[in-house]
Amino acid sequence: MDYESMTPIQKAAVALVAFGPEVSAYVLKGLREEDMEKITVEIANLRDVPPEVEEKVIEECYQIFMARQYISQGGIDFARQVLEKAVGAPKAKEIMGRLESSIKSGGFSLLKDIDPKQLTNFLQNEHPQTISLILTQLTPQHAAAVLAELTPELQAEVSLRIATMEKIAPEILGEIEQTLEGHFEQTTLGEMSSSGGAKAIAEILNLIDSSAEKNILQSLEAENADLSAEVKNMMFVFEDIMLLDDRSVQRLLKEVETKDLAISLKAASEELKGKIFSNVSERVAVMIQEEMEFMGPIRLSDVEAAQGRIVDAVRRLEDEGQIIISGRGRKEDIIV
């Protein structure tokens, strides 16, 4: 059994066996029947677990338990800061990523199997703020599907509220969850916390259809131009050029000045540099590389400005239908 390839259910099974029958029974009682069955089957299928694997699973459990304790003491930001000091920034980010994901999927998990149209029918008469709060508890894919079903006016209002949303008080989420449980006849599913912000709405908009996205972004821009720009920046960043097919990269490069490209690539990944160089002639590739070497050290702010100009060109060309950004969940993004 390899720790790196283990599923969360397998890790849970190993942890419960390690904790002993009394603790395991206590934990299983608090789970939904569906989850209890999955873990019980996994426990039954366990064979010899290497000691080093068991040790890593227990260590991961301990880290998550401590992170939850830090959150209860001072919130997610406090927990992240404490963990960074204790285990370093990369490990802290990994732990918080797992924890925040489990928090979000734990609360409101009763909604994950509900058809977006059915959920929209329930939400359409709710206050936009309530709809916004609920969408932040869904996966970006599910939230995008629900948002697409709302009227254009509600789409714009809800998106603006998500983008400007800060931390949500647990008691407010608790009240909303009780309402949902009453409507969908489900049981209480645990404590949660969440936040909205530009990143949340950007993730959703990346997965929604183009017409709805344009309507929402236009409304956001009319309400708050700076916020609209921030959302757009989070929807597509310079490294996302990797999402372009070769034909789109070649079209983009026709719009980009060589100097801007050379400056932008100073802080780009080797993978992205390779993609760019593979879509230009050998002579042009050599010219860009020589330009990069000749200019020497460049301020990061200048690199980011040049990358921003290239990203603007990507957005413009996509709006004009001249390039395709793959992996955005768009059903109409089919090249024929």
Whether residues 7 and 57 share a domain: the answer is yes
Whether residues 141 and 213 share a domain: the answer is yes
Low-confidence residues of the chain, pLDDT below 70? 1, 33, 70-77, 98-113, 167, 169-171, 173-174, 177-178, 181-197, 199-200, 203, 206-211, 233, 326-336
- Written as one string, the DSSP assignment of 100-111 is HHHHHHHTTGGG
Query: What pLDDT does residue 72 have?
Result: 58
- Is the Cβ–Cβ distance between 278 and 270 less than 8 Å? no
Longest dimension (CA), the chain: 70
Whether residues 142 and 246 share a domain: the answer is no
- Written as one string, the DSSP assignment of 231-286 is HHHHHS-GGGGGGB-HHHHHHHHTTS-HHHHHHHHTTS-HHHHHHHHTTS-HHHHH
| Amino acid at residue number 97 | G
We report the CATH number of the domain holding residue 288 as: 1.10.220.30
How many residues would you count in the chain? Answer: 336
Last residue of one domain, picked from the residues 64, 79, 104: 104
Whether residues 154 and 181 share a domain: the answer is yes
Whether residues 115 and 215 share a domain: the answer is yes
Residue 336 lies in a domain: no
Nearest to 70 by CA among 28, 100, 25: 100
Whether residues 297 and 213 share a domain: the answer is no
Residue 334 lies in a domain: no
Residue 326 lies in a domain: no
Whether residues 61 and 150 share a domain: the answer is no
Query: What pLDDT does residue 95 have?
Result: 74
Span between the terminal Cα atoms of the chain, in Å? 45
| Amino acid at residue number 84 | E
d(CA 305, CA 229): 14
With a threshold of 0.75, does the pTM exceed it?
no
- Is the Cβ–Cβ distance between 64 and 12 less than 8 Å? no
For the packed helices 21-29 and 33-45, what is the interaxial angle rounded to 10 degrees? 150
Query: What pLDDT does residue 330 have?
Result: 44
Query: What pLDDT does residue 93 have?
Result: 79
Nearest to 10 by CA among 242, 18, 303: 18
Range of the domain at 83: 3-104
Which residues sit opposite 244 in a β-bridge?
Answer: 325
Looking at the structure of the chain, the number of domains it has is 3
Last residue of one domain, picked from the residues 64, 83, 104: 104
Whether residues 131 and 114 share a domain: the answer is yes
Query: What pLDDT does residue 210 have?
Result: 62
Last residue of one domain, picked from the residues 196, 223, 250: 223
| Amino acid at residue number 29 | K
Nearest to 38 by CA among 65, 2, 11: 11
Residue 40 lies in a domain: yes
Whether residues 119 and 98 share a domain: the answer is no
Residue 329 lies in a domain: no
Count Cα neighbours of 97 within 13 Å in the Cβ-side half-sphere.
Answer: 6
pLDDT digits (tens, 9 = 90+) for 166-202: 767 666 766 776 677 666 654 333 333 344 567 667 7
Secondary structure letter of residue 164 according to DSSP: T
- Assign 209 to helix, strand or coil: coil
Count Cα neighbours of 272 within 13 Å in the Cβ-side half-sphere.
Answer: 17
The alpha-helical segments, DSSP class H, found in 88-209 are 89-106, 116-123, 128-135, 140-149, 152-163, 170-184, 198-205
Residue 15 lies in a domain: yes
Whether residues 62 and 120 share a domain: the answer is no
Residue 327 lies in a domain: no
Nearest to 27 by CA among 14, 40, 16: 16
Phi, psi values for residue 330, rounded to 5°: -95, 120
Nearest to 9 by CA among 76, 296, 17: 17
Query: What pLDDT does residue 251 have?
Result: 93
Whether residues 173 and 244 share a domain: the answer is no
Residue 331 lies in a domain: no
Whether residues 254 and 190 share a domain: the answer is no
